[in-house]
Amino acid sequence: MPRSAAPALRLGIAGLGTVGIGVVKIVQSHAALLEARTGRRIEIVAVSALDRSKNRDADLSHYAWEADPVALARRPDIDVFIEVMGGAEGPARAATLAAIAAGKDVVTANKALLAHHGQALAEAAEARGRVIRFEAAVAGGIPVIKALTEGLAGNAITRVMGVMNGTCNYILTRMDSAGLPYDVVFEEARQLGYLEADPNLDVGGIDAGHKLALLASIAFGTRVAFDAVELEGIGRISIDDIRRAGDMGYKIKLLGVAQMTGRGLEQRMTPCLVPAASPLGQLQGGTNMVVLEGDSVGQIVLRGAGAGMGPTASAVMADVADIARGTRLSTFGQPAKSLVAPIAAKASSPAPYYLRMELLDKPGALAKVATVFGEEGISISRMRQYDHPEALAPVLVVTHKTTGDAVAHAFARLPATGVVMGEPVAIRIEAV
């Protein structure tokens, strides 16, 4: 049968926010292009959202309307259920389960749903011969999941790393370029609509942590283990940290890193210093960047828009197009039942650290701090003391490679020296 004679691929879209409407617009504006590239017509049959009367800047009059996304998922006249509602529980989870039970393929942009329930959903889908595709859930328009599951299939992945939350990168780069404190830029980001309804999902690293857990599962053949991700947000990063890191040739990023070590799987989404001249160091605004490292290919750098209507809808349609072509891949790159539960490991791999502290301006203060570091096996690479008008002297230290445990032990001993005031700050320096 000629490809053009294949039956249409029929879509049901649950969620008509930014991403859902973006998908509608792509299907409507690129119908001929999609058919030429996939060999099938792709058409929307039905949609679902909370408020039917809302003006959404798109013509939805030709589509059936379902008030209940579960009812949409069960419709016999759809082949692919597109879930772009969001949320780990509630309607998103119920409708996705209903779609799988009804024999539908699923395309989702919902990183929280998969970070918390991905294993169970993948097993349910694969038991019925269905697929769950989620390119849009990680790094917006960047095709990182396709790169891992297809382009790098012949590689043992050694590390996954990246800036995966555009809001945090906007805040940090705006603080840097404008010389503004965190609180001011946070409020600016809120006014611009960059923050989630719960801002801690962004600035607390949770959103990016969901994405990292999904990528780690694909990269290392493990079950999704979001609860094992070491999370720290950007709230305690000061403008002084940004300026002083810059003086030493670094930029501060909320950086996700996943790697398999002899102790187990490290997953951390924490503020890190990266060389200012590196691709990650030069990343500005709301852009995302993911770095993949494989034993054969070396390092691959993917950069692009991490959110927004167009980029995220583009990723949704990439998955739809693969389904239209007949591409059938396991949810996390290999059969869900073959995924192993990872042994969680804290950030034990040695790295240099940036340490900031305030010392009493008195003779012997630096010597006391250096003694503590030496006794904990921490070797100092560089040290800088800043001029100050008051009794407290800001001191920065860049260490040679050490461990997070050694730094924590040293910090626990610093109050007893009687010369360190306030809470010192430690930020890992990541090699990129």
Per-residue pLDDT of the chain (432 residues; tens, 9 = 90+): 344 578 999 999 999 998 999 999 999 999 999 999 999 999 999 999 988 888 888 889 899 999 999 999 999 999 999 999 998 899 999 999 999 999 999 999 999 999 999 999 999 999 999 999 999 999 888 999 999 999 999 999 999 999 999 999 999 999 999 999 999 999 998 888 888 888 889 999 999 999 999 999 999 999 999 999 999 999 989 998 999 899 889 999 999 999 998 889 999 999 999 999 999 999 998 899 999 999 999 999 999 988 888 899 999 999 999 999 999 999 999 999 999 999 888 766 789 999 998 888 888 888 999 999 999 999 999 888 877 666 778 889 999 999 888 999 999 999 999 998 888 989 999 888
| Residue at 78: amino acid letter | I
- Do residues 358 and 421 touch, judged by C-beta distance below 8 A? yes
Amino acid 410: pLDDT: 94
Supply the DSSP string of 197-223, one letter for each residue.
Answer: SSTHHHHTSHHHHHHHHHHHHHHHTB-
CA 182/CA 172 separation, integer angstroms: 8
Amino acid 192: pLDDT: 82
Residues 6+ apart with CB under 8 A from 18: 308, 309, 312
Beta bridge partners of 287: 305
Amino acid 1: pLDDT: 37
Residues 6+ apart with CB under 8 A from 138: 111, 144, 145, 164, 211, 214, 215
Which of 260, 257, 329, 318 lies closest to 290, judged by CA?
257
CA 241/CA 175 separation, integer angstroms: 10
Residue 65 CB coordination number (10 Å): 12
Note the pLDDT tens digit of each residue in 24-78.
999 999 999 999 999 999 999 999 998 888 888 888 989 999 999 999 999 999 9
- Do residues 228 and 265 touch, judged by C-beta distance below 8 A? yes
Beta bridge partners of 382: 398
The answer for 21, left when phi > 0, alpha when psi is -120 to 50, beta otherwise, is alpha
Q: Would you name the residues annotated as active-site residues?
A: 211
Amino acid 389: pLDDT: 63
